[in-house]
Amino acid sequence: MISIEDILSGDFSKYPLEAQEYMRKYTDKLREKIKEELAKELADRMLKDVDKSNETFMTILTEILDNGCKGFNKMSTRTLLNMYLEKKSQEDFFDLLENIKV
């Protein structure tokens, strides 16, 4: 059985080569899906706030610029998942896992 900890850490060395390849592909797709969801959530939040008031939009934009934007590609899978779970539910995460096709 595949461990979620192994997927998060990216350490697949204890698995057979065929399983390692599958896990790499699965992890890549998982990362991409999480990044898409996080970007969509932030964009939706910003667009919704722009409609409410320019001040709220500017606050969010200033927060992003002040805190820097490291970029999702440089983040670990664990960090991406933590960010995802701060914004979404565990049920959303399980749905995401089920919908990934390798």
Is 46 within the bounds of a domain?
A: yes
Which of 78, 95, 100 has the alpha carbon at shortest distance from 33?
A: 100
* Residue 24 maps to a domain: yes
pLDDT in tens, 39-93: 888 888 878 777 677 777 787 778 777 766 667 888 888 888 998 999 898 899 8
| Residue 8 forms part of a structural domain | no
Classify residue 41: in a domain, yes or no: yes
Q: What is the identity of the amino acid at 77? A: T
Instruction: Say if 60 falls within a structural domain.
Output: yes
Q: How many domains does the chain have?
A: 1
pLDDT for 34: 93
Residues in Cβ contact with 31 at an 8 Å cutoff, skipping those fewer than 6 apart: 77, 80
Range of the domain at 50: 15-98
Reduced to 3 states, what is the DSSP secondary structure of residue 18? helix
69 in any annotated domain: yes
Residue 81 has a CB neighbour count (10 Å cut-off) of 19
DSSP letters for 53-70: -HHHHHHHHHHHHHH---
- pTM summary value: 0.75
